[in-house]
């Protein structure tokens, strides 16, 4: 376990382009503003009015700071953590001074000395950064745990046994096909056993899934048909590794294997503006343990999506027209993650 603990994620600034980060910052600053108003107000009847006035002064500056941090977020996240903190404080200082001098006339108030609002802004920024620092430290073991859970749930023993049996049946009759299948198995398990905490290109995930489905078709034959729709797929999009393979495994295990009739697994991947959509459909069977099996995989993937993309990623599942559908939405991100320090 020592080696796992040593692979903790390095400290990094939050992604200021993330909607969830924006929401948390707004809530924290609003709460701090309310606390300041409460501490400074003796008359509880005047609290709402004072809080409204404080919000009128704070929120425009907050929005400007968030816009500036969003524009510089890719650059900030490439910096060393301590240097990045100093850069964030410098940006907040500049925006606060500018908003204080320029915005006061629009609010028809005396700007007064800039020292007090600057002190409040920097204190709030420090508290926000400290919150995200603690959150990052808390999520670091969660990412490791999510990886271990995914490792345990990725490949069922029956798949390995059945695949080896299928390959053995081809060794004499179709040796080249058996050799290709063994190469697919080696590639598949090499990825499965790797440290898959960083985002990876979507094209790599699709290639891995093709190898996995080739192995499944080797043993299921005509019972399994694959319908790929990836012409509009953004190949450079970054996604959590193994976000699709466990769902395909469930699709085969619960939707194809129990039925003697042929079935189709459909994979549709496309981009709409700033989002990447992954839609998976497979035959739905009411009997068996379909619900229980899928919930385990869905829960694991939801956790990893939230850890990587916060509120900007979604996973929805539903049953329609005798088919089970899973729809994943993730932000279109192309920046490759930095190498992690150990």
Where in the chain are the domains?
2-140, 155-331
Paired strand residues for 142: none
Local confidence pLDDT in tens for the 342 residues of the chain = 333 344 455 677 888 888 888 888 999 988 888 888 887 777 777 777 777 777 777 888 888 899 999 899 888 888 888 898 999 999 999 888 888 777 655 554 555 677 778 888 888 899 999 988 888 777 665 555 555 455 444 445 556 666 777 777 777 777 887 788 788 777 777 766 665 567 889 998 898 888 888 888 877 888 899 999 999 899 999 998 888 888 888 888 888 888 888 889 999 999 998 899 999 999 887 665 544 555 667 877 887 888 788 888 999 998 887 889 999 999 998 865 444 433
Record the pTM. 0.67
**Token pair in block for residue 304:** 């990893």
CATH topology of domain 155-331: Heat Shock Protein 90 (3.30.565)
- Owner of token pair 């977020």: 73
How do beta strands 263-272 and 224-229 pair?
A: parallel
Query: What is the spatial distance between Cα 332 and Cα 267, in angstroms, rounded to a whole number?
Result: 18
CA angle, residues 118, 122, 125, in degrees to nearest 5? 140
CA angle, residues 334, 340, 341, in degrees to nearest 5? 155
Best CA proximity match to 20, nearest among 95, 132, 124: 132
DSSP string, 267-325: EEEEEETTEEEEEEEEE--SSSSHHHHHHHHHHHHHHHHHHHHGGG-EEEEEEETTEEE
Paired strand residues for 201: 238
For the beta carbon of residue 84, count every other beta carbon within 10 angstroms. 19
Best CA proximity match to 130, nearest among 81, 179, 60, 77: 81
């Amino acid at each position: 376990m020592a080696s796992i603990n040593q692979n903790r994620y390095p400290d990094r600034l939050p992604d200021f382009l993330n909607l969830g980060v924006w929401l948390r910052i707004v809530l924290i600053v609003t709460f701090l503003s309310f606390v300041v108003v409460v501490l400074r107000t003796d008359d509880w009847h005047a609290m709402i009015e004072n809080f409204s006035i404080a919000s009128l002064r704070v929120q425009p500056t907050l929005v400007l700071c968030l816009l500036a941090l969003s524009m510089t977020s890719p650059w900030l996240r490439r910096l060393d953590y301590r240097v990045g903190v100093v850069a964030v404080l410098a940006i907040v200082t500049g925006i606060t001074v500018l908003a204080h001098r320029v915005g006061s006339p629009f609010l028809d108030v005396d700007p007064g000395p800039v020292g007090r609002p600057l002190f409040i802004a920097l204190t709030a920024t420090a508290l926000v950064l400290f919150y995200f620092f603690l959150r990052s430290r808390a999520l670091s073991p969660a990412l490791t745990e999510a990886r271990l859970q995914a490792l345990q749930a990725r490949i069922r023993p029956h798949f390995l046994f059945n695949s080896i049996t299928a390959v053995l049946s081809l060794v004499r009759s179709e040796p080249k096909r058996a050799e290709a299948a063994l190469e697919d198995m080696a590639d598949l398990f090499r990825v499965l056993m790797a440290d898959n905490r960083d985002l990876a290109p979507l094209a790599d995930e699709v290639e891995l899934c093709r190898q996995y489905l080739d192995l499944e078709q080797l043993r299921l034959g005509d019972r399994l048909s694959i319908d790929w729709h990836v012409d509009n797929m953004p190949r450079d999009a970054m996604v959590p590794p193994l976000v699709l393979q466990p769902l395909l495994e469930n699709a085969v295990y619960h939707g194809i294997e129990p039925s003697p009739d042929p079935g189709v697994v459909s994979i549709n991947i496309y981009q709409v503006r700033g989002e990447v959509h992954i839609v998976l459909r497979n035959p739905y069977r009411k009997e068996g343990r379909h619900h229980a099996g899928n919930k385990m995989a869905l829960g694991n993937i939801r956790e990893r999506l939230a850890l990587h993309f916060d509120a900007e990623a979604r996973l929805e599942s539903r049953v329609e027209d005798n088919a089970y559908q899973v729809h994943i939405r993730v932000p279109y991100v192309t920046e490759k993650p930095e190498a992690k320090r150990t």
